[in-house]
Amino acid sequence: MEKAKVIQSKGMKMGNIINLEQGKLPPQAVDLEEAVLGAMLIDKKGVDDVIDILHPDVFYKPAHQYIYQAIFHLFNASEPIDLLTVSNQLRKQSQLDAAGGDYYLINLTQKVSSAAHVEFHARIILQKYIQRQLISISSEIIKSSYDETTDVFDLLDEAEAKLFDITQGNLKKSSEAAENLVSQALKKIEEISNKEGMSGVPTGFTKVDNITSGWQPSDLVILAARPGMGKTAFVMSMAKNMAIEFNIPVAIFSLEMSSVQLITRMISSETGISSEKLRKGNLEAFEWEILNRKVKNLSEAPVYIDDTPSLSIFDLRAKARRLVSQHDVKIVVIDYLQLMTVGGNGKGGGNREQEISMISRNLKALAKELNIPVIALSQLSRAVETRGGSKRPLLSDLRESGAIEQDADIVSFIFRPEYYGMTEWDDDERTPCEGQAEFIIAKHRNGGLDNIRLKFVGKLAKFANLEEGFDTEFQSSINTGVSPVHFGSAQDAFGPDDEEDVPF
C-alpha cells in the first residue's frame, strides 16, 4: 500500500504526465528516450535524423524534456551540440539541476555508441506520446460525458478538434527520394496519355477541361462571385455532368440550401423543366412522362449531399474522410466557404479574417490528405458593385481574407453581364451576351489563365457549353405541336415571382 502511494506521488510530480489509472503506467519508453538523447549528444547525425520528428512534450520524463529543449534551442541558433554546449544551455535556462545535472548528461552519452537506428527509436517515442494523448483526451471525454450540463454536440465538436490537433501536430510525412518521385511522375504521365490529356476530374465544360485537364487531385479550387451570379448553379451543373455523364462520385456540402432544393435544381437541369414548374407541380402530361423517365438517371447518380448548417472545418474533415472511404468520392464541393465555422478550440477566438484563413488552410490540407480536388464557393466583396467600368471581378475582390487567394491552386470567377443590365460583351466584336456567362480563371498555379464563355439558362439554373443546343426531345415536342417547356431568358429568372430560383 505504501509502495503504491510512493509511485502515485512520483507520478503526480512529473509535470504534465498522465496520472496512473487503474494501476497501469501510461505508455512510455524511457530507455529509448535516453538512447535518443545520448545519440544526439555524441553525433550530429542523431540531431539531423530526429529534430523534425520530436518536440519537447513528446518525452515522458520531465528531465528529458528540458534536455531536448536545450538541444532544440542550440539547433535553431546554429550552435554546435555536444555535452558541454547542452550543459551550458541548461545552466542558462536555470534547468541544469532539474535535468539531472552534468552527471546525468554524461550517463546519457555512455548509454549509446552511435546514432544508428535513432530515427526508428524516435518514432517509437512519438507513438508512445500519441497514446498518452489519446488516453488523456479519452479521460476528459468520459468525464464530460457524465456531466449532464454538457451539450453533446459541443462535446463531439471538441473531441473531433482535439483528435484533429493530434493528427496535425504529430503525424508528419517524411521526404521521398527523387528516384521514387520520378517513377511516380512517369507512371502518372503514362496514365494521362491514355486518357487523352484528362488527368483530373472532368467538369463536362469542354473549354474549362481543356485548360485545366480536369480538376486535379490535391488542388483547392475557389469559385467566387457576387450573390445572384450563379455559383451554386454552376457547381450543380458540373456535379450533374460528373455524376451522370462520367459516373464520378461527388460530395456536396451545402451550408445555405437544403438537400431537397439542390436535388430539385439537378432535376430541373436534367429534365429541362423549370424549377418554378417543379415547385408548383403544374406539369403537362408529356412533362410528367419526361420527368419520370429522366429522373431515373439522376436517382442512380453517385451524388452525396450534406446540408448541415454552420458546418465546422473539423466536422467537414470527418465527413469527407468517411465519404471517400465508403463511397470512393472523387471530388468535394462546399457551398459556401464564408458560412463555415472554425469549431473546436478555434470557436470564438480571433477575428473573422483569421477564421477564414484557418478554414482555407484546412481545406487545402484536406485536399492534400484525401488526394482529391476540393471546390469551395466564396462570396466577393461589394467593391465589384461600386467599381466603374467593367464589373469583371478581380482577385482583390475576394472577401474577408487574402489567405484564400494564397491557399488556392485555382481561383475562378463567374461573370454575367446581363446581371448589370448589359446587352453586349465588352469586346471588339460587341457580340450579344444574352443567356451567356463568363467563367474566369484568374489564378492557376499549374496552368494558364482564360475567360471562358458558357451558356446560362436562367429558368433551369443551368450552365452548359456555349456550342450546345437545346434538348432535341424538347425541339421534337415543338415540331409536333405539343406545348414545350418554357425556356425563359436569363433576365426572366430574376423576376419577383421567381426569387427562389435565383442562382446563388
Catalytic annotation on 191?
no
As a whole number of angstroms, the distance between CA 218 and CA 366 comes to 8
CB 406 within 8 A of CB 433: no
As a whole number of angstroms, the distance between CA 161 and CA 342 comes to 10
As a whole number of angstroms, the distance between CA 31 and CA 145 comes to 36
As a whole number of angstroms, the distance between CA 193 and CA 11 comes to 61
Q: Considering the candidates 79, 119, 256, 369, report the single residue annotated as catalytic.
A: 256
Q: Could you tell me which of 68, 48, 46, 71 has the C-alpha nearest to residue 57?
A: 68
111-137 exposure pattern, b = at least 16 Cβ within 10 A, e = fewer: ebeebeebbebbeebbebbbebbeebb
Angle between helices 231-240 and 259-271 (to 10 degrees): 70
The count of other CB atoms within 10 Å of the CB of residue 369 is 17
DSSP state, residue 339? G
As a whole number of angstroms, the distance between CA 254 and CA 347 comes to 21
**DSSP labels, 218-285:** T-EEEEEE-TTS-HHHHHHHHHHIIIIIS---EEEEESSS-HHHHHHHHHHHHH---HHHHHHT---H
CB 422 within 8 A of CB 431: no
Q: At 449, list the grid cell.
A: 489563365
As a whole number of angstroms, the distance between CA 365 and CA 431 comes to 42
Q: Which residues pair with 380 in a beta bridge?
A: 398
Q: Could you tell me which of 497, 447, 412 has the C-alpha nearest to residue 230?
A: 412
CB 379 within 8 A of CB 226: yes
Q: How far are the Cα atoms of 68, 110, 150, 385 from residue 391, in angstroms, in the given order?
A: 57, 72, 50, 7
As a whole number of angstroms, the distance between CA 296 and CA 275 comes to 18
Q: What residues are labeled active site? A: 256
